[in-house]
Structure 1
Amino acid sequence: MSTMLRAAIVGATGYSGAEVVRLLLMHPHVAVTSVVSSSNPGALLSDGFPHLKQIVTDRLDAVDADLLKEKADVVFLATPHGVSTELSPKLLEAGLKVIDISGDFRLKSGEVYEQWYKHKPADAAYLNKAVYGMSEVFGDEVRGANFISNPGCYPTATTLGLAPLAAKGWIDPKSIIVDAKSGVSGAGRGLSMTTHYSEINENFYAYKVNKHQHTPEIEQTLARLTGEEAAITFTTHLVPMTRGILATIYVNLKEQHSEEEIFELFRSYYAGRRFVRIRDKGKYPATKEVWGSNYCDIGLSLDPRTGRLTVLSAIDNVVKGAAGQAVQNLNLMMGWDEATGLAFSPVYP
């Protein structure tokens, strides 16, 4: 294409924002024209992220909707919860495309958002306007949209592991148990006791038990797919690694199906989708095998003794769980091949 799409990244000094910058630097149709920080405007992005030294637009801009209107066509919002609620409407009214990586527009109910996120919800009109960008599930809705709410990292791993079953009506949506583990980067770059090296190293613990804010997001998507109310048990754990999520999902089937039928369902559902890889029978994914990539690897095992299905879903939480899926959504919005700028292999070991 003759003209590059101009992109601004708000929250570029966080892990997800910096990863959006890194990915867009490899995109053939996009130019990064503004990197934005509310905490340190005027500084250089490369001072905090030396690996991004080659970026042309290195000086951090302040958060200014009028400035963004002049410098960008699309804005990625990698901001703390509550910020996008105020900023997104201004950007949309200025005619910009918006991809929100925060959780502010994922839930369609403002009441549910306030209950789980403890922030004032966005205006209902904008909640309804935002397209939930689970690329492999709702990609047709993303095409041509101008406002995308990027899914959370845990919901991405979990939903991709359940979507074929939910869409087919094979599972009891109230039987689902999700045991998920994440690397420390999921907590962001800010310092805290729980992510301090000496606290997390050689340690492993659950957090936000039955209170994690991603719970209603997963339930909302499952309800869309099944047409039934979903109520999941969702337990998250922090493990001493930098990147990665492994979601181990246990679910009861409504009717008896063979393991071969289940494998065929998953392969058929994700046929043609570049970033979901179904493992062969008896093979299960590991976080190291998707590290630094936009892939989601899925393994399946049906227990003939209990009739219960175990689904294992692995992603890189910073890429497929945030920045990579945001770029994938941009590709769909613009009518480009969804793998543009993302067709690289995981880093291993």
Structure 2
Amino acid sequence: MTTASTTPELFRPLTLRGVTARNRIWLAPMCQYSCEARDGIPTDWHLVHLGAHASGGYGLVMTEAAAIVPEGRISPQDAGIWNEAQQQQWQRIATFIRAQGAVPAIQLAHAGRKASTYRPFDDHTGSVPAEHNGWLTVSSTDHAFTGYAAPRRLDTDEVAALPAQFAAAAERAVLAGFDVVELHAAHGYLLHQFLSPLVNDRDDRYGGDFAGRTRLLVETVDAVRAVLPAESLLFVRFSASDWAEGGWDVEQTARISQQLAQRGVDLVDVSSGGAVAEQQITVGPGYQVPFARQVRATGGVPVAAVGMITEPAQAEQILERGDADAIFVARAGLREPSWPLRAGHELGVGHHDLPYPPQYERGAWR
């Protein structure tokens, strides 16, 4: 049996507010582009995909980006949570995730000028035209992301209305049974489009200096936190760097994280990139972990690390060094839905202490 003193950091529970994740191996949000009717309703694919990871031992299982409004979808086949039909299908999925012992989490998103695009596995790239179920996108700017159609610039009143749309989606998420709501402010999507000086060229109260560029996010956090139960968790995903000169950076990420922690954000999910096509990313194992380390050290908020964290010993070392409080596993989790179970075996966790479903317990014995 694994004792408290010998339990790897990856397998120590983490409690935030009233929510406890059984371990610190969490499934990152990853788009599946699999809503068959193009109506944003999650399907059996989503149930099996997310359910397999819950039964595979993850402590927290997060959905893909769920659009808060139809025009916020990355592709016509993306999931949403702007109506009751979507909410009901998410409820089925959240219930199953919880039944497997994992914490159900949902990411709320608006893709802004990077919406209405073809799926990665389609035969076409770029923006989807109206005749193929595409739509005119919106943004902080009227300048296009390279290779995409130009968006319509939102006016000041339209921007001011966005936090209420995020809050309405958060209310639906709670009714669907999710314990965690994450705001997607990364990867060049709408909230990030306001944060980044490379994309936000506004001269109203939502642009200009740091306070102006972060205003929409702050207002959105306030609106969402106000509708969440006291015990529900609120995360924010940031791109800690635009990887381009003059862009959003880790210092600004830490600065706003510190402010948001005072406004009820429970954890910051630290990723990077996506705002502009001319980014120059230095990619390698754990390449985003230094950003997580800096935000954790100076932002005054728990953080999760993500990005090319593929091996159990690597993930364990990140936690042991104090670089992060939890690990989001992304593409390695697509390859291996039971990654946490392998991690436990490799790190010496006793088989009785591994989160095997009872139907799979025989697999715990070598």
Q: TM-score with structure 1 length normalisation?
A: 0.29
Higher strand share: 1
Q: TM-score with structure 2 length normalisation?
A: 0.28
